[in-house]
Structure 1
């Protein structure tokens, strides 16, 4: 059974490949994808919830960082 990642990743990879062929900036592509993610989130999430999601992601940008998990 397909999941959301299975659906979106081929489109992202194709868009990035097309952008590379056309010598478009990966940064510009990422900014547009981020803009669209925010647009989608605004349809179903509160601004505070979106902010929390973004801050959580920003807090864990270092790929070498260990994640801290809280146990109930």
Structure 2
């Protein structure tokens, strides 16, 4: 069964690889993807819900820390 991650991850990784190949900022590419995420979220989620999602993610930025809760 195909998952959302199966669909999204190759596109993101390809964009990052292409940016590196063309000596463009991978940070800029990630920001553009993030803009797209926010646009999609605004279609179905409240600003408060988006804010809560972002705060939860920000509180768990340490790669060595277990991330106990993740939305599907």
Task: Please confirm whether the aligned pair reaches a TM-score higher than 0.5, indicating the same fold.
Answer: yes
Q: CA deviation at 1:30?
A: 1.1
Change (3 A) 1:43 1:60: same
Q: Which runs of 5+ in 1 are unaligned?
A: none
Separation (CA, whole Å) in 1 of partners of 2:46 and 2:24: 33
- TM normalised by structure 1 equals 0.87
Q: Which runs of 5+ in 2 are unaligned?
A: none
- TM normalised by structure 2 equals 0.87
Task: Select the structure with the greater relative contact order (CA < 8 A; seq sep ≥ 6).
Answer: 2
| Count of matched residue positions in the alignment of Structure 1 and Structure 2 | 69
User: Which residue matches 2:36?
Assistant: 36
Separation (CA, whole Å) in 2 of partners of 1:38 and 1:68: 23
